[in-house]
Every structure is written in structure tokens, then in C-alpha cells.
Structure 1
Amino acid sequence: MLGVEGKSITEIDEKEINRIWLKHYDEGVRPNIDYPEIPLYQLLEDTAKKYPDKTALIFFGKKITYRELDEMSDRIAGFLKSLGIKKGDRVILDLPNVPQYVAAYYGILKVGATVVQCNPLYTEREIRYIQENSEAEYGFFVEFVYPRIKGLLAEGKLKKAVICKIEDYLPFPLNILYPLKKEKVRIEKSDKVVYWKDALKSPLTKERPEINPKDDVAIFLYTGGTTGVPKAVMSTHFNLVANVYQTLEWVVDRTPDDVFIGVLPYFHSFGMTTSMNAPIANGSTIVLIPDPRDIKRILESIQKYRASIFCGVPTMYAAIINHPDVKKYDLSSVKACISGAAPLPVEVKRRFEEITGGKLVEGYGLSETSPVALGNPVYGLNKEGSIGIPFPDTYAVVIDDEGKVLPIGEVGELVIKGPQVMKGYYKMEEETKKVLVNGWLLTGDMAKMDEDGYFYIVDRKKDMIIAGGYNIYPREVEEVLYEHPAVVEAAVVGVPDPYRGETVKAYIVLKPEYKGKVTEQEIIQFCKERLAAYKVPKLVEFRDELPKSAVGKILRRVLREEEIKKIKG
């Protein structure tokens, strides 16, 4: 019993809850932690003082020490200060996992500005939305993104862009060979464009604005919603520092000698916290891998650098166990892996643990929770299909439609409270009020809890698709489809896929004059020009009509059920 069954979350104090899950914590994991109220950038500064000569980053063999990384971020802070960027300003960070990402991230924080996370796969339209919504006037961009920000620079919405080349930190001869592998991007000379190496020539600054960790926003993380409009999750310095400490606490046998694989994209909250901020706070070495699809490099890196901790999404682990050469690599150094962003198939967990000898456990989180909120114990009881138990200082209950706590075993909405829960959505007060009630975050996920305090997701947010660990909101894809002149109606659903978890499928009703003239490939190409690759429908089906409710609402659920029936035969 939790002791609060039947009570509303508007009136309960989380301290009233009987945390029945604590008995399943691994030995040494504390249920409560005294979190330091510090700016997020201090994680790097403290480690650089403690381990100045230790390798912080390894990038294609190039090694960067903590002293060098801290100085790079100080120089970027100096550069930003010279532009007049101050506390509260927003700066876009649109890079893959490269050394520039880490240095710029902490440099932005050191001047008191907010890091606006952006996916390098985003199209011009998606980048424009983030720039306009965040009102960021400056940013760091990987070279190949330049054609997509030219318009923003020309219009003056972006005042300056720092262009980062992948080869900047590649050792010889890779730094010479690398550009030959990529299509060369032509960048016009302009006072609005600065190259990373020139930005690094700025005098470093040790000046820091006063930060209120519990109130000042460190990061904007964009997440979708049922409205189809991405929302900027405002994570404070304290939210993120707390989640770093919670994550490190969970891996009870961690040491500064651990080597982390940094392959989860850092622009995503899961990668940012578990594979960048946490290892830096721990004084560990990070092997940076910019392409999460490069399974061969992941295998090589684990073997070469004796990597011990690797956070990823289920598709990564599935790709590793199914790689034709997996047996040729020594993966015995792996001791702990946390899987998130999508359900972890039981068979993938079993085979990965057999191959590595390490532990692979499933966790649960959201951008709104910085992101990790629950997880299976690394060494203790793991329950198949469960997302685990709440992290230290984290409370979770299941509620009914009236907000009242449900008893063990009953299905309702999962709600979470803890130091990692966001401040709110930027410029969206009504949306914030809908999901934050008395400090509780309403996740929108349907769940149940068992007698041991383990939680199970029964159904996800009604319409969200999770493909390869990426969250895709049907409304956003549908809005693009409706822009096509031949489309009269469109619905997008996630259909089961053995590798990606789900695949995006579009159902389309064409205008009479276009029937038989528009192809599936044309629709896919239309989407490719307007959406990031992972959002583009892989399957298209034309129909004469779509299933609808009595009031005319298109029923995505019916379409998905039809697909599942087809698979089951």
C-alpha cells in the first residue's frame, strides 16, 4: 500500500507516500540525495580542477583533456561575451556529438545563456520554428546545416552563426581525407559567419553571472505534443544537476575510471544527461561517436577503449547483437547499460547480456524529467516489460481521470514528482498548467504499478510514434501532407516494425482529379523536403475514405488496429 490511495494529487504531499519500491534498490543506492545547488557548468569546472590531465573526450583517436575542454569552453564564453550575449539570452546548438558540441554547451552556460537544443537532421522549416520560438539570435551549427540557415541569416533573424567542421578535431590524416567523403558545402563570406577555430581565438573569460540554479533556465529541449506544435521544455540548472546525481547514484559501482560511449545524440535529453553531463561529473572519459548508426565504430570503440558504460536505445542494442561481426569483438569491459526512449524487447536484453557479460536495464523518462525518472536496478530485481522503480527522491503514482491515486494493479495515468521535473514550457502557460499539477508531472502515459512498486507502461500517449528511439507526433507529419495539393485527407500512425519498434505509415485520400496520378514515392519525396528523415513516412496507402468517429474525427486507432491484425494474420 502507498497510503494515499483515493486522495487527489492536488492535496497530497509526496512525503505521505509509502515508497514500497525502496526495498528493491541496489545496495549502496541512497533513497535521498543532498543535491548541490550549483550552475550546471560547474560540473565541468570541478572535474577540470580535480583531474586536469585526464582524458575527457576521445574523437576518432584525438584526445582532449579536462583542462583543454574547460579552457575551450572558457574561450567560447569569452567569444559570446564579446558579442554581447548575457544571462537569459538563448543560443542555438545544432551539432552532432563532436568536441565542439561539449565545449559550446558549457561555454553558453558559463555566460548565463540558455542552450537551445536543435537536431542537425532538421529541415529549414523545423530550424526556423525553433529559432523564432526561442528568439535565439546566435548559434553553433555543423557545416552541412548551413544551407538551411542561410535564409535566417539573410533576414537578420540570426545575427551570427558559428560554423563547426567535423574535421576540426580529426587527427592526421583523417582531417584531410574526411571532406572527400562528404558533399562540400559552399559557405559565402559574410560578417555573419564565423568559423569555430576563429571563435576559439577569443580571450577566455572566467567571469560568471550570478545563477539561481532552481529558477534560471539552462536548456530548452523541444518536444512535440498533441497540438502538433513543438514545445520548449525549460530545464533549470538544478533540474539537470539533480538528474546527473540521480543517474550516477543508480550505477552504484561507477568510478572515475569508467569509459562512456557517447553515441546517444546530445541534442536529445537522454544523451545529454546520461552520456555527457553524468560522465563529466564523474570524471570519466567519453568516446564521442557522431553517427549513432555507425555500429562498427561502436563495437571498435568498446573494444579499443575498454568502455564500461553505454546508454542507448533498443534499436542500437538490437543492431549490435545482430551485427555479423559481433563475435570478433571483445565487449567484456561493458558493465552497465541503460536503455530508454522505447520499450526494450526481452530477447534483445538477454542476448546483449550474454554477449557482453554486462547488465542492460530498461528505464523511463521524458524531456520534461531531464529525462530519467524510473529504472530497473542495475544489479537487483529486473522485471520483464517493466520500466522499473522511481529514482532517488522521485515519486510516481497512477491516477484516474479525476486525479485521484489508484490502488496497486489498476491502470491510470502515470504522474511523477521529483527534483528533475521541468520548470514548464516556454511561452505556453496553458500547456504548462495542463501537465504540472501541484508539482506533479502528468506524463500522458497509461501505466500500472505492481505490489513491489515496479511500473509498467500499458499504453503510450494516444498517438505518439516511437521509431528507432525518436518521438514522432502524427499531427506534425499530417500537417505537411495536407500541404500537398493532391491531398484531401491524411492520417499518420505507427505500425509495428521488428527493427525500429514502429514505422511511420501515412493513409491518404486524394482529390478526385489526382487519383491514379500521384504515387507513393512522390508523397514520400514531398515529406523528405519538409521533415527530418526519421519523421518521413516509410509506407503510404491511398484510400477512398478514412475511418471516422460520429463527429467526423479521423480514428488513427482503427487504422493501427487494422495493421496489427494484418501482421497477426
Structure 2
Amino acid sequence: MNCIDYLLPKDINKDDLFVLGQREPLTFYDIRRKVASLAVELKSEFGSGNKFVLLSPNNNYFIICYLAIMKSGNAVIPLNPATEKESLDFVKGQAEVRLAFIPQLLQKRVQVSFENIWGEDELERISLENPDVYYEEEGDFDPNTLAQIIYTSGSTAMPKGVMISHKNIIANTSSIIEYLQLTDEDIMECVLPFFYCYGLSLLHTHLKVKGKIVLNNNFIFLGSVINDFKKYKCTGFAGVPSHFQILLRKSDSFKNEVLPDLRYVTQAGGKLHTVFIEEFRKAKPFTKFIVMYGQTEATARLSYLPVDRLDDKLGSIGKGIPGVELRVVNEKGDPVKAGEVGEIIAKGDNVMRGYYKDEESTSETIKKGWLYTGDLAKVDEDGFIYHAARKKEIIKVGGRRVSPKEIEEVIVSMPGVVDCTIEAVADDVLGEAIKAVLVKNESANGLSGDDVKEFCSTKLAAYKIPHIVEFTTKMQVNSAGKKVKGKM
């Protein structure tokens, strides 16, 4: 089955809205009509099995292009509009890109030349020239067909292309809808970019249930987000840790605002320290807080913590989502005992086909059908998983292994601390020493590095106390809102 046939609802009225928050609302009827005409044009001009780049912010143009490319049997490569020339050249060459979809306003800023570029005018022309094209489902379509390539950012090398099939998207979407209990009454405030798998999962799930999404590309202006919550009566919000830290600590406006329609929020994209979760629940006691964990290599989602276990399992990423099996294993591949640290591995229909044109990395990551995530974790007696750190983030201080997250958890519990990141720095004696980088708000202007060290000494073993403490006005984050360590 083609995943677009699965995602697009059939029982629709002509005026049923899907996208809010744009100058021109987008209906489900418009989506089916425009996707059908563009998909037919792509198949006619290019055939199937090609790779097409899509560089665009979240908007109606992105949605139509994204869906039509996959509907046509080609693979979409959604990229950050701010992708550097070197990375863009790499993707273009590796994927042998024949066509790029780029909005008119962005075309002059892109420093890489593509064989073909289609903007909004081209889509409008195709739609006008094909008024009689209607959406048709494909009965004979291999679900293992490549649907998209998501390039993951690499700090020391060129990005890796994660190959996601139509089956992967269908499996992950179905599972997320089930555990979040999404319906056609859900309205999602969407601040996550669609070139990020977490953002795409919002698009997929709300299409499937015939819900609505509110596009907001201006999270930096908190007032606009709060206005969306009230104006559109949003029932859901999805964010990474930095989103929640800003909502809760940058000002009191979000905490003090009454939002009766906000049924739930989801958090993924890294660990949000428990102090922020508790702070959110205190401010919004009637809004469900759902902790999730995932990877691009798993289409988006791997685990979630049920809301009714948040009190007794605070700090856990939960268990596998429906249809996904998770284990925490030692270096031999055997399950660890409760309390021991091991690597999270996963199996399910959402696990990627592999890395594009990179068999070596694929064989290192997928072993006997299991996805090795590179994330270290512990399991408790009830089978709940507690994320410890990325393998690559572990700091070795004088031969002792230190998890940055443990120290970050302590420091962000200090009054006035908005955010903290822990990094390793070279040390002649210890091999690696610990550096803490903090963001504080105005109420903590007098906070010093010595204050931080003294506070840590009451909570942590001596070898875990930061050797260096620095302050910054804001954390360096990537385009998906995740912190970039070592660049503070």
C-alpha cells in the first residue's frame, strides 16, 4: 500500500480544514486534488524511483509537494532550508537528485544549482492544466518501496541518509495514533519543522485521523504560540526539551495562561529533566504530559510513558509503543539485569531499511533485524526504561564513567537556571574533565560558578562536580531545537 493512500482520509466534505494559521487555509479536498495532479505530472515527466529534494519551511506548499512526491512512487528528501552548501552538494550528488522543490523566495538563496527547480508557480500551473485529475488509490503497490530519505546531521562527517519505506510510515503512524488516542477533534499547534521526523509524525497522524494542524514558524515569539492556543483552541502541542524550558522559564506568561482546550503535550528529541516536567504539571494540572523517545532510524517513535505511570516512573522513557519491541542489552547482546546499563535496541515495522549507499554503517546499526540505537539506558524491575546517555556523550573522568544527564538534572533544579549542558574538555591529568554551560534568567543574575559547584557538592560525588562553569545567554541548538554540544 502507498502510504499516502493510507494517510489521506476519504470521507471528507469540501470545506473540511486541515491547515490553520496560514494566510490561505488548506482543506482536505484541496490536498487530495492538488496531490493527485502533481503526482500524475511527476510520474508522467520523471517516472518513479527517483529522489527529489524538498527545501521549504512549514507551509501549504511543503505539504502538497511532500505528499505528491511519495504518491508518485518517488522518494522525497526533506531538507532544512538553511542547509549548508557542502551538505547540499553532498546530498544532490549521492542521491542523484533530478528535481528540487523550492519556494520562489528561497530559490535565490540556495547556492547549489539543480537540473530542475519547481516553485509555487509550477504547482499552480500543473493544477490548472489538470482540472479533471482525481485522486485514485493504487491497488498493487509494494509497501517496501522507498518513500523518503531523511538525512541526519553529522558533526564530524557528511550526513547519513536514513531510508524510510511506505510500510515504515504506515506502521509508525498507526502506533502513534493508538497510544495518543488521536481523533478528528484534535488540533495540533505545530512548531516543529517538517524536515525533522518528529515534525513529520505530526503531519502524518493528524492527516490520518482528519484532525487539524496550526502551523507556527515563530516559536521565538512566545506570544504568537499562546495566541494560537487560544484562537484555534489547540488540543495538543509537541516539543523538544528546549521548547519546554523556554515556555516554563523564559517568562511566566505560559504558566499563568489558562488553556482549557490543551488536552495533552508530547515531549521527545532528548531528555527533558524531571524538574521541568514537574513544573509543567504544576502549571497545567489538567493537561496530560506524555514523555516519548525515538530516532529518525525508527521513522520517529520507539517508546512512550503512559500518563498514569508518570508519578511512579518519573524519569523513564516508558516501554515500546504498540508494534515495537525494545530491549536493553550488554555488549554480548544479552538483556541486562534491572539497574544495569546497556544499549537500547529495537525491532518493528517502523525500523528503517538502512542508510542510503552506506552498507557499512547499516550493518553496524541493524543486526539480525534489531536496530542498535547507540543510546545507553537502565531497566527497572517492571521493565520501564530509563535513558542514561548517548554512547558518544559519556565522559571518562580519571577512568570513571560519568553521564552528563545526571549532572544536568541537578543543575537545572537550581532556582533561576533556564538550561544547562554538560560537556567533556581535555585534561592532562584526568583525561577528560567536566564543563558546565548554563543559561540563567534575570532572577539569578548573582549566580556564580562557585555557587554552582557548591550546590553540586551537596548532590553529587566529588568526581562528578564540574571543573569549569560558564554562563551564556542562550544555548546553541540545531534546526530541530536539539542542543549542539561543544559549540556553546
Q: Does 1:258 align with 2:186?
A: yes
Q: Does 1:386 align with 2:316?
A: yes
Q: Which amino acid aligns with 1:230?
A: P
CA separation of 1:205 and 1:566: change in aligned 2, threshold 3 A: same
Give the structure 1 partner of residue 401 of structure 2.
Answer: none
Give the structure 2 partner of residue 34 of structure 1.
Answer: none
Q: Does 1:430 align with 2:360?
A: yes
Q: Which amino acid aligns with 2:36?
A: D
Give the fraction of aligned pairs with identical amino acids, expressed as a percent: 25
Select 1:287's aligned residue among 210, 214, 220: 214
Q: Unpaired runs of 5+ in structure 1?
A: 1-37, 153-157, 165-193, 466-495, 508-545, 550-554
Give the structure 1 partner of residue 467 of structure 2.
Answer: 565
Give the structure 1 partner of residue 42 of structure 2.
Answer: 80
Q: Which amino acid aligns with 2:432?
A: V
- TM-score when normalising by structure 2: 0.78
Q: Which amino acid aligns with 1:223?
A: T
Give the structure 2 partner of residue 244 of structure 1.
Answer: 173
Select 1:299's aligned residue among 226, 237, 247: 226
CA separation of 1:139 and 1:343: change in aligned 2, threshold 3 A: same
Structure 1 residue 249: deviation in Å?
A: 0.8
Q: Distance in 2 between matches of 1:199 and 1:290?
A: 27
Select 1:332's aligned residue among 248, 260, 264: 260
Q: Distance in 2 between matches of 1:141 and 1:560?
A: 43
Secondary structure, aligned partner of 2:283: helix
Q: Deviations over 1:90-116 (max 9, x none)?
A: 111111111111111111111101010
Q: Does 1:91 align with 2:21?
A: no
Q: Distance in 2 between matches of 1:197 and 1:95?
A: 17
Give the structure 2 partner of residue 233 of structure 1.
Answer: 162
Moved more, 378-387 or 389-398: 378-387
Q: Does 1:162 align with 2:118?
A: yes
Note if contact 2:343-2:375 (Cα within 8 Å) is conserved in structure 1: yes
Give the structure 1 partner of residue 61 of structure 2.
Answer: 100
Note if contact 2:319-2:385 (Cα within 8 Å) is conserved in structure 1: yes
Q: Does 1:111 align with 2:72?
A: yes
CA separation of 1:380 and 1:438: change in aligned 2, threshold 3 A: same
RMSD: 2.9
Structure 1 residue 72: deviation in Å?
A: 1.8
Select 1:419's aligned residue among 338, 349, 358: 349
Select 1:321's aligned residue among 235, 244, 248: 248
Q: Which amino acid aligns with 1:159?
A: E
CA separation of 1:75 and 1:499: change in aligned 2, threshold 3 A: farther
Secondary structure, aligned partner of 2:307: coil
Note if contact 2:48-2:72 (Cα within 8 Å) is conserved in structure 1: yes
Q: Which amino acid aligns with 2:102?
A: F
Structure 1 residue 355: deviation in Å?
A: 3.1
Structure 1 residue 199: deviation in Å?
A: 4.5
Q: Distance in 1 between matches of 2:280 and 2:147?
A: 35
Select 2:370's aligned residue among 440, 443, 450: 440
Select 2:277's aligned residue among 340, 346, 349: 349
Q: Distance in 1 between matches of 2:296 and 2:246?
A: 25
Note if contact 1:395-1:418 (Cα within 8 Å) is conserved in structure 2: yes
Give the structure 2 partner of residue 530 of structure 1.
Answer: none
Q: Which amino acid aligns with 1:145?
A: L
Q: Distance in 1 between matches of 2:30 and 2:389?
A: 46
Q: Which amino acid aligns with 2:185?
A: D
Q: Does 1:215 align with 2:144?
A: yes
Q: Distance in 2 between matches of 1:224 and 1:326?
A: 31
Note if contact 1:111-1:209 (Cα within 8 Å) is conserved in structure 2: no
| Match runs of 1:114-153 below 5 Å | 114-152=75-113
Structure 1 residue 331: deviation in Å?
A: 1.6
Secondary structure, aligned partner of 1:386: coil
Structure 1 residue 146: deviation in Å?
A: 2.1
Note if contact 1:349-1:361 (Cα within 8 Å) is conserved in structure 2: no
Q: Which amino acid aligns with 2:17?
A: T
Structure 1 residue 145: deviation in Å?
A: 3.3
Q: Which amino acid aligns with 2:128?
A: K
Structure 1 residue 87: deviation in Å?
A: 1.8
Select 2:388's aligned residue among 458, 466, 487: 458
Secondary structure, aligned partner of 1:121: coil
- TM-score when normalising by structure 1: 0.68
Secondary structure, aligned partner of 2:392: coil
CA separation of 1:365 and 1:437: change in aligned 2, threshold 3 A: same
| Number of residue-to-residue matches in the alignment | 419
Give the structure 2 partner of residue 526 of structure 1.
Answer: none
CA separation of 1:405 and 1:464: change in aligned 2, threshold 3 A: closer
Q: Distance in 2 between matches of 1:290 and 1:464?
A: 34
Q: Distance in 1 between matches of 2:341 and 2:384?
A: 13
CA separation of 1:197 and 1:68: change in aligned 2, threshold 3 A: same
Q: Distance in 1 between matches of 2:423 and 2:436?
A: 15
Q: Unpaired runs of 5+ in structure 2?
A: 396-410, 438-465, 472-488
